[in-house]
Amino acid sequence: MKHYIGVDIGGTNMVAGIVNEAGQTLRMVKIPTEVQHGGEDVVRRLAEAIEQLRADVQVPVEGVGIGVPGFVDHVQGTSVFAANLGWKDFPLAALLSARIRGLPVFVNNDVRMYVYGEATGGAGRGFQHVLGITVGTGMAAAMFNEGRLYYGSGGRAGELGHIALEGIDYACNCGLIGCLETVASATGIARQAREAVERGESTVLAERFPGERVQEITAADVSKAYDAGDPAAIAVLQRTGTLLGRGLATAITLFSPDVIVVGGGAAQAGERLLKPMREELQRAALSFYWKDLQIKPAELLEDAGVVGSGLYARGRLEAGEVL
Amino acid sequence: MKHYIGVDIGGTNMVAGIVNEAGQTLRMVKIPTEVQHGGEDVVRRLAEAIEQLRADVQVPVEGVGIGVPGFVDHVQGTSVFAANLGWKDFPLAALLSARIRGLPVFVNNDVRMYVYGEATGGAGRGFQHVLGITVGTGMAAAMFNEGRLYYGSGGRAGELGHIALEGIDYACNCGLIGCLETVASATGIARQAREAVERGESTVLAERFPGERVQEITAADVSKAYDAGDPAAIAVLQRTGTLLGRGLATAITLFSPDVIVVGGGAAQAGERLLKPMREELQRAALSFYWKDLQIKPAELLEDAGVVGSGLYARGRLEAGEVL
């Protein structure tokens, strides 16, 4: 069995792991990213972590896949722009490969890595057309079709979080008004709950988070209040699921996936969110888009970035082409 | 130079032409489809027309491409479902090929053929990511990326006409409410003008189309009234362009094209429609989706279906794979 190294680089930590060709992780290591010392320093420490993993596990490794936030040139292996890493046109693949004895290094956007992993080794396995979404701090999406990721111009395709929807009037960080992400995200769920408290609605969240502590409400707290039958929490998740379903109705009409894989922290709200999402999706899209559509929770969970990146390295090496 | 035959089958007529590898038509012929005699009869008469074209032009022909409305299995070459032809799982490629001395026949959806033609030999030539839309009797769209058409599950991707938008409350033929096509189409433009007349608005269309003749208003009449400075006609095209721009803002955020090619009869409204469309698109989408985006009128016009189908046959033969 062949082995690969998958890496997920975030603003705070980077995680690297040895992944076998079946998508199982043999060993993982997490180290702080510490972007303030510059990209070359990040690469140096990542190379050390990779060499340590190889020494520990003692299996031959075929290549490395790295998921990076922001815009990526996956052909050149460069980080074109990553705001929270401070990288611009940073030649990540070349620099890292030179430090790990020339092992091939493949770089892609972190959301595409997650969707690649779910499509080839997770909840989307066996489907031809996979739409993967993450509902976490923010919201993101990517498509995988017939063995390939979908990029679009500049690799910018799939920003489902930034389509404007009727019924949303929040200003988004991106500068637009009414972006889906302002509601359908952990941040958006917490914000709606906070506003319910501030409006003086009768909710257990008002008792649990009195005064200034209202700022501490998280999406998980909203799920807990939902389970206690709290009407305000139920209304928030109902509205969030409905708007997510409305956005997905548009996405499936344009992309026509076989399956939607839902991941990310806020997706842990599960059926509280997915039930109103499905209902709205079926109301707002033509039936032939949803009658055979599967909607599944992500399978790879916390390892998704590492497994996806490892499997992506495998795909790139096997296909001999740019996926 | 190599030659191909391109065919566009519609509910009323079918057009066949000899197309060279540069996308020029050498000779075209139009014959009635006469679907009432059944598919085998359509194929028999289409085969005769093709053999006549070959006899007339006397150039060797490499293959045939056929655009068909509705759902198509482009791998098998079958018309899966075409409502206005009465076809269901009809093996068009196999039946036709058998009647034209085994010449290879490739079948695809007519809108994808048009977009293939524009992307490879029309207004989208030279771009990697082409979103083609037709604003005609109805509205349709397809994507062409890095040398391939985008299909999605069941070949159903790209139904931009059937995304529901804020500000539209017409019932659509498809059963949904608020579909973009109910406004952004020749039918939709005419309907809005008719309603303005029926509401008693002051418009030259009320004088030109008195009483029951209001039913005769066409999209072209609305453009004429617009050019005469008619406020009602200006409002209709302004609203239509704005809503089209809102739909495209979502489409470019998900697909990220380099260029949008706009074709179809209603697209002849030109800047009357495209100006408000661009303005809304720039208001409603992130700037990195539109700052380098080109928006171009279709180049192939009436021949688009034939040229697209001919070039598609060329693409299939050259690629040796399913495009």
Most A CBs within 10 A among B112, B156, B176, B253, hence the mutation to make, goes to B253
Q: What is the pLDDT of residue A75?
A: 93
Output the pLDDT for position A84. Answer: 85
User: What pLDDT, on the 0 to 100 scale, is given for residue A90?
Assistant: 97
For chains A and B, CB pairs below 8 A equal 104
- pLDDT tier for residue B321 given thresholds of 50, 70 and 90: low
Span B221-247, mean pLDDT?
97
CA distance A221 to A208: 9
Which H or E element spans position B296? strand B294-297
Q: Which residues pair with A184 in a beta bridge?
A: none
Task: Tell me whether domains B3-117+302-319 and B127-298 share a fold.
Answer: yes
The ipTM value here is 0.93
* Residue A137, C-beta contacts closer than 8 angstroms, at least 6 positions apart: A185, A186, A187, A265
User: What is the distance in angstroms between the Cα of A198 and the nearest Cα belonging to chain B?
Assistant: 29
Nearest of B217, B261, B224, B223 to residue B240 by alpha carbon: B223
Token pair recorded at residue B310: 């001919």
Q: What is the mean pLDDT of residues B70-92?
A: 93
Determine the Cα–Cα distance for residues A214 and A197; give it in Å rounded to an integer. Answer: 7
Residue from B254, B288, B289, B293 to probe the interface with A (highest A Cβ count within 10 Å): B254
The predicted pLDDT at position B84 comes to 85
- Looking up tokens 């996405």, which residue turns up? A251
Between vectors from CA A150 to CA A149 and to CA A156, what angle results, nearest 5°? 120
DSSP state letters, B130-159: EEEEEESSSEEEEEEETTEE---GGG-TT-
Q: How far is CA B41 from CA B44, B97, B242, in A?
A: 5, 14, 45
Beta partners for residue B295, in sequence order? B260
- Give the rounded percent of residues in chain B with a pLDDT score beyond 70: 99
Q: Taking residues B237-262, report their average pLDDT.
A: 97
Q: What distance in Å separates the CA atoms of residue A21 and residue A312, rounded to the nearest whole number?
A: 10
Is the confidence at residue A220, as pLDDT, over 70?
yes
What band does A323 get if pLDDT is binned at 50, 70 and 90?
confident
pLDDT at B318 over 70: yes
What is chain B's length?
323
- Distance from C-alpha of A241 to C-alpha of A279, rounded to nearest angstrom: 9
B58-79 pLDDT, tens digit each: 999 999 999 999 999 999 999 9
Is residue A4 within 8 A of residue A21, CB to CB? The reply is yes
Taking an 8 Å cut-off on Cβ atoms, the answer to whether B153 and A286 are in contact is: no
At A320, phi and psi to the nearest 5? Answer: 65, 20
Who's near A93: CB < 8 A, 6+ residues apart?
Answer: A66, A76, A77, A78, A105, A106, A107
CB atoms < 10 A from the CB of A34, how many? 13
List, for residues B121-133, the tens digit of each pLDDT value: 999 999 999 999 9
Residues contacting A267, CB < 8 A, separation 6+: A134, A135, A136, A273, A297, A298
Amino acid at A133: I
- DSSP 8-state symbol, A62: -
Interchain pair A286, B159: CB under 8 A: yes
Reply yes or no on whether the pLDDT at A156 is more than 70: yes
**Residue A321: pLDDT above 80?**
no
> Cβ–Cβ of A153/B258 closer than 8 Å?
yes
**Cross-strand pairs, A57:** none
Q: Is B178 helix (H, G, I), strand (E, B) or coil?
A: coil
Angle, alpha carbons B173-B179-B185 (nearest 5°): 80
Rounded to whole angstroms, the Cα distance separating B7 from B1 reads 20
pLDDT score of B323 more than 80: no
- Of the candidates A186, A170, A196, the one whose C-alpha atom is nearest the C-alpha of residue A273 is A186
**Closest chain B residue to the Cα of A178, Cα to Cα:** B284
pLDDT tens digits, B146-183? 989 999 999 999 999 999 998 999 999 889 999 999 99
In whole angstroms, give the CA distance from residue B104 to residue B15. Answer: 18
* pLDDT the model gives residue B319: 85
Closest to B128 (Cα-Cα) out of B274, B273, B302, B257: B257
CA dist., res. B252 & res. A159, Å (int): 9
Q: Measured between CA atoms, how close is A233 to chain B, in angstroms?
A: 27
- For A33-86, list the strands marked E by DSSP: 64-68, 71-73, 78-82
The set of residues, in sequence order, having a beta carbon less than 8 Å from that of A41 and lying 6+ positions away, is A34
How confident is the model at residue B265, as a pLDDT? Answer: 83
- Residue spans of the domains in chain B: they are 3-117+302-319, 127-298
- CB pair distance less than 8 Å for B160 and A128: no
Mean pLDDT of B195-202: 96
Task: Return the pLDDT at A202.
Answer: 93
Nearest to A306 by CA among A55, A12, A23, A1: A23
- B7-25 average pLDDT score: 94
The answer to whether the CB of B121 falls within 8 A of the CB of B135 is no
> What backbone torsions phi and psi does residue B156 show, to the nearest 5 degrees?
-100, 0
The CA distance from B71 to B88, in Å, is 9
> Chain-wide mean pLDDT for chain B?
95
Is the per-residue pLDDT at B270 higher than 80?
Answer: yes
Say what percent of chain A tops pLDDT 90: 91
β-strands A78-82, B129-135 pairing: unpaired
What is B127-298's CATH superfamily?
ATPase, nucleotide binding domain (3.30.420.40)
Contact A194, A215 (CB under 8 A): yes
Residue in chain B lying closest to A141 (CA): B254
| DSSP 8-state code for residue B301 | G
pLDDT at A320 over 80: no
User: What is the per-residue pLDDT for B268?
Assistant: 86
What angle is formed at CA B25 by the lines to CA B21 and CA B27, rounded to 5 degrees? 130
Longest dimension (CA), chain A: 62
Residue type, A164: A
Angle, alpha carbons A116-A119-A123 (nearest 5°): 130
| Contact between A286 and B176 using a beta-carbon 8 Å cutoff | yes
Report whether CATH 3.30.420.40 matches the domain B3-117+302-319. yes
Measure CA A173 to chain center: 18
C-alpha B318/C-alpha B314 separation (Å) is 6
Q: Report the side by side order of strands in the sheet with B3-9.
A: B25-32, B13-20, B3-9, B64-68, B105-109
Which candidate from B153, B157, B253 shows the least CB-CB separation from A162?
B253
Residue B132 pairs with which residues in a beta bridge? B142, B261
Interface of chain A toward chain B, CB-CB under 8 angstroms: 128-129, 145, 150-160, 162-166, 174-176, 249-251, 253-258, 284-286, 288-289, 292-293
Q: Are A85 and A69 in contact (CB under 8 A)?
A: yes
Supply the pLDDT for residue B275.
97
**Angle of helix B186-198 versus helix B231-255 axis, rounded to 10:** 140
Considering only CB atoms, which chain B residues are within 8 Å of A249? 163-164
